[in-house]
Amino acid sequence: MSIKNRIAVVTGASGGIGRATAERLARDGMTVIVHYSGNKSRAEETVATITEAGGTATALQGDVADENEMVTLFARVVELYGGIDVVVNAAGIMTLAPLVDLDLADFDAMMRTNVRGTFVVSQLAARQLRTGGALINFSTSVERLQQPTYTAYAATKGAVEAMTLILARELRGRDVTVNVVAPGPTATPLFLDGKPQQVIDHIASLAPLERLGTPEDIAESVAFLAGPARWVNGQVLYVNGGIA
């Protein structure tokens, strides 16, 4: 199947890496479903940006951790476009604190969105992706960096890596690739929120390229896995400028 004929679902596409990914896949000619949870206006902005550039996109709402809502979303995509070829699971939340101080409610919220949400969407993707399809989930380079205060967030992403890499083997014979993208420090609101400028500057200096990543940097790697990278399967792709 031509990349230009692909139907892609991007969760968390109303902002940050998800939005950059949706716009990047649309530039490749894919029809993009811009998933959002609560911010409809931002999702519609993403759709408008894509359509104004000549692409095709539709905004659909759903809680990634609610299997009924996501079943409805996937069914709607099939109804509108006939099938699904790419699923990018960019939805996620992050709360930072040392393990000893983290509120368990924050831990539970991250587990629900990052782990259960990824599982729900991956399960639906495994059931519905067409031959030649691709599933891309998200982890984090903190798995290697082991930075303090990221304990719980990194734990959720460790779970994502485990389920994704095993799923790649479970889909033997389907001609569906399953991979993980693990960004390093990336200039998104999720990463920048609450950090003093001197901390941001220090983190940016750690990579040999001496800058933070951008959402567009990450989106390029996702586009590679979603399109031409048919011989990359069951891998964690670290996209971090060489920081780890």
Instruction: Read off φ and ψ for residue 213, nearest 5 degrees.
Output: -70, 165
Q: Is 153 a catalytic residue?
A: yes
With vertex at residue 205, the alpha carbon angle to CA 203 and CA 209, rounded to the nearest 5 degrees, is 120
The amino acid at residue 238 is: Y
Lay out the sheet containing 7-11: strands in order across.
56-61, 31-36, 7-11, 84-89, 129-138, 177-183, 236-239
CA separation for the pair 78, 63 (Å, rounded): 18
d(CA 183, CA 217): 9
**213 DSSP 8-state letter:** B
Active-site option among 36, 81, 150, 153: 153
Q: Which residues are catalytic?
A: 153
